[in-house]
Amino acid sequence: MAGDVAGNDNGAVTDSRSLVDSLVASEALDPLFERIDGGQIELTGDGGLPGELTRAALERGLQTEMTSHPGYAPGDRESKAGGGHANSRNGSYPKTPSTPVGEVTVLVPRDRDGSFTPRLAPKHSRRLGGLDEMIISLYAGGM
Read off the pLDDT of residues 70-113 as tens digits, 9 standing for 90 and up.
Answer: 777 777 765 554 455 678 888 999 999 988 888 999 999 998 88
pLDDT at 93 (0 to 100): 94
Q: What span, in angstroms and rounded, lies between the C-alpha atoms of 124 and 89?
A: 20
Q: What span, in angstroms and rounded, lies between the C-alpha atoms of 115 and 123?
A: 11
Task: Classify residue 3 as left (phi > 0), alpha (psi -120 to 50) or beta.
Answer: left
> Which of 35, 69, 80 is CA-nearest to residue 43?
35
Residue type, 23: L
pLDDT at 109 (0 to 100): 93
pLDDT at 59 (0 to 100): 94
Torsion angle, alpha carbons of 52, 54, 59, 64, to 10: 150
Contacts of 92 (CB under 8 A, 6+ apart): 107, 108, 109, 110
Count the neighbouring beta carbons within 10 Å of the beta carbon of residue 73: 13
- What is the average per-residue pLDDT within 31-46? 91
Contacts of 116 (CB under 8 A, 6+ apart): 65, 66, 69, 109, 110
Whole-number average pLDDT of the chain:
81
Burial class from Cβ neighbours inside 10 Å (0-12, 13-18, 19+) for residue 108 reads buried
pLDDT of 3 strictly over 50: no
